[in-house]
Structure 1
Amino acid sequence: MGRPAIPAEAFDHGDPRRYRRGCRCTTCKAGVTATVRRQRYLRATGRGATVSPQRAARHIELLRSLGMSDKEIQAESGVCQNVFYRIIGQRSEIRRDSETRILAVKPRQIDAPRSGIHLAGRGTILRLRALAADGWPAVHLGERCGKHKQFIVHLQNSDPDTTVVRRWVADYVAALSQQLAGQRPEDHGVPTHIAERIRKTAADKGWAGTAYWDPDDYDNPDFTPAVEDTTPRRQVIAENAHWLMRTNNLDRFATAQRLGVHKSYVDHALREHPEYGLEVAA
C-alpha cells in the first residue's frame, strides 16, 4: 500500500505542484508557465533542469550536524520526503529547483534535547552493551528505541572512542538504560534460553552488566568496570551482591534483580564465598 497522494491544498497558489494536482487558477497557470520558460532557458544555455545531488547532500549533512532534524529540513525547504532521501542517497540526479530549496535553508546551531546534533558515542555504546550483558536481545532494544535490531548490533560493536551518534539516539538509549537497569529480561517476555545466550555472548566479549555501572560512569573515559576475566562469575556476583546489600540496604531478591540473576544464584554465590556473606536481609 503506497503513501496517500499529497493534495493540491498542501502547496501555495503559483507553485507548479499545485497546478499538477488540478488547480487551474490564474496564479497557478502563471507559476507553471514561468517554470516551463525557465527550464527552456536553462536547456538553451547548456544547463539542464537536473543537477547532481552532491551539493544538496553536503548541505543536508551540514544542517544535520548542527542539530536540525530531517523533518525540520524538509519543512523549511518544501522538499518532500521521497526527494529528500533520494538526495541523501545520491542515487540519481535531482531537479535544479529541489537543490535550490535545500541550499536556501540557512544553517543554524540547534542544541536541544532530542535534536540531531552529533555527540560522542561512548555512553550510548556502553549502555547498550550493558543491557546485552543483562540478557536483553538487540531486537527488544531496537523495538523500544524505534530502530531495527541491526542498528543496535552495529552500535554495540562500534568503537566507543571514535563513534559519534545523534543526540536523539543518545537520549533514547540513556532513558532506556535507566528504565531497564537491574531488570531481568525474562520478566518482560524474553525467553530464558535467549536471555542466557545473550548474556554468554556479552560475557565472552567482556561486556559488563548494568549492575557494574553508575549512570555517570558510561560517559567517563577513565572508568573501567571492576570485572576481571580470570575471576569466577560467582565470586564476582558475591562481591557485588555484598556491596549492593551493604551500601543500598537491599535484600537478596532486590540485589539479584539489580545484578540480572535469579535470587538462588546469589544464594549459591554467597555460600561459596562466605567472605562476602554480610547479611542485611534474607
Structure 2
Amino acid sequence: MTTAAKRRQPIPAETFDHGDARRYRRGCTCRPCTDAATSEARRWKYLRETGRGGVVAANKVIAHVWKLRAAGMTDQEIRAQARLSPPHLYQIIRQGGTVRHTTATRILSIPIPEITGPSRNGTHVPILGTKRRLQTLNAEGWPCKELDRRLDTGTGYTAYLIRAAGDIVRYSTADTVRHFYTTLAGLIPEEHGVTATNARQTRARAAAKQWARAAYWDDEDFDNPDFTPALSDDDLGMHQLGALRRAEIAHLAAFNLSHAEIAARLGMAEGYVRDIAREINTGQKRIRTAGPAANESLGAAA
C-alpha cells in the first residue's frame, strides 16, 4: 500500500504586504497590489524585448548566502529579509542553475553583518577554510593530538576535520577553528607543551603533504577557493621568494630564536639567516659578491 504524497499548502496572500505582486497573484486586487503586478509585468516585458532574460545565474546568490551564514545569520533570518519560503532558499542552494532576477536582487541586497564573536549558528558553510587553518597549524608543528586537547574535543577530531570528504561544515565548528587559529598564530609549539620531536615530525608530515605554513597565508585567503599558496620556489619569482623568506625570518626572529634555530626550522643556511637578520635590524642591504663561476666568466669576457 502506498501513501499519497502530502501536498504543500499554498502561501496565503496575507503573508505579503500590500504593494507586493505576490499578494496580487494570490487574489488581492487593491490598488497598491495591482500597481505592483503591472510594474513587474512591464519590467519583464522590457527585459525580454531588450534581449535579457528574467533570470540570472545563481552563483553569486549562493556565494552571498554562504557569506551571510558565515557572518552568523540563520537561514530563518535570511529568508525573512529576502522574503523567501524555506523550500525556495534550499532549492537555490542545492540546485543552483538560475534564479529570477527579482529573487537575486532581494538576496544580494541583504548586508553582511559584522562578526562580533563566537557563534553557535547551526547552519553550514564551506569547509575549505577550516581544513586549511588546521593544516597550517600542523605545518607550524602543532600535532593533531595537541590540537584536540586544546579544543577539548575527542581524540582524532581535528584529524577527522582535515580528512573530511564533504564540502561543508557547521558554522559553529568553522567559527571555533577560526578563533582557535588566531590564538595559536605566532606561538612556537616547543615553548607551549609540544616536544621538539613531535613538532619536528609534525612539520615533516605536513611538508610531505605540501601544506603551506602560516607565512604563506593572509587571513582572508584561507576561505578563498581561488587562492593557492606557492609551495615551491619554482612558483615564485626571485623578488617574491626573497620577500617571503625575509618575512619568515623576521617572524621567527621576533620570538628571540637564534640564527641556528631559525635556519634549522626553515631549512636555510645559518649564514644566510644571519645576513637577512642583520639587514632587518640595521636597515642596510648586504653587499653581494659574485661567485667563482661568475668571476671566471667575467675574466673570459675581458
TM-score (ref. length: structure 1): 0.48
Between the two structures, name the one with larger relative contact order (CA 8 Å, sep ≥ 6). 1
TM-score (norm 2): 0.45
